[in-house]
Structure 1
């Protein structure tokens, strides 16, 4: 592990990040792994920009095997509206990039990059674990119920959704006689892990 300091912002590179990137580049011949990494950086860049605009201080960016994580500080003192802007900024950037890429008709690389951004947007919008969607759900629920109740509801929804997605993948593979691809296996595993550690 290595930590770099850029003013108050700490950037941490975990060994697992380099291991996963190297592995994905090795097995991926389409270039989607590199495009996914760029899309993840754009996603976190959206959060960083929104935090700068809303007056929150980014504390640490961690590059690890599961992707890129941005720890946010100073969010508690912000209004719910500003917190919602920050939490949804990453997905918004991916959605805008996807729309721009899909508008470039006849460009295969742009189409793939657009699809990658759309997938990352949808993935992060899921109300599972520590994903943006789960934090948005909790924030919206606290407008009607206590924080403790909101956290319980978030956990129930996340667990149910993770189980439904896992069951759906298994049923699809059994019904269609398809084998589970390595990438799909890792996606399901990551969803379960995200929910368990949240």
Structure 2
């Protein structure tokens, strides 16, 4: 892990980040699509950061890792449930806003498609995704295991169907394995 301190915020990059990028590129993803996806991920995280700053809570750390970008807030709640939910959902909101803007200006471009996918994907109720964290805040963790297990089974079925059709996505498969490992490791 490489880390530097910039203005009191730890910026880091894990070995897993370039390793996953290399693996995805080696499996046939073109560099234009990869760059567009990275820009969309960066803008997603800017949505979170914008509302953290608006609510007066600077991040403690920002880390690039194999699962994407992790923003570690300073300990504790920002101020209220509403503000915490706003910060959690601001990334997806940014993706949907960018997708709508791109759709109006340029039609169904790659940028629009990736933003829609990224926004929807991050709303899934898995532990490390925005939707999972928001759902945990809203329900105080009650009933989440059943919801998460249902989504794990549905995602597994989707991956099997994609495999049968010959259109398996290595990045979807890798993300699913990560989410599955995280659910069982922490659950």
Q: TM-score range by the shorter chain?
A: 0.7 to 0.9
Contact kept in structure 1, 2:13 and 2:63, CA below 8 Å: yes
- Aligned twin of 1:192: 180
* Residue deviations 1:144-177 (CA, integer Å, cap 9, x gap): xxxxxx3242233112211221123314544xx4
Q: State the Cα deviation string for residues 87-126 of structure 1 (Å, max 9, x = none).
A: 11110111111111111236xxx71011101111011111
- Across the aligned residues of Structure 1 and Structure 2, the Cα RMSD in angstroms comes to 2.1
Q: How many residues align?
A: 185
- The unaligned stretches of length 5 or more in structure 1 are 142-149
Offset, 1:63: 0.4
Deviates more, 1:66-75 or 1:112-121: 66-75
CA contact (8 A) 2:128 2:179 kept: no
What are the within-5 Å matches in structure 2 for residues 150-165 of structure 1?
150-165=140-155
TM-score, normalization by structure 1: 0.83
2:69 maps to 68
Match in the other structure for 1:140: 138
Larger Rg: 1
Give the whole-Å Cα distance in 2 for the aligned partners of 1:179 and 1:80: 41
TM-score, normalised by the number of residues in structure 2: 0.88
Structure 2: runs of 5+ lacking an equivalent: none
**2:41 match:** 40
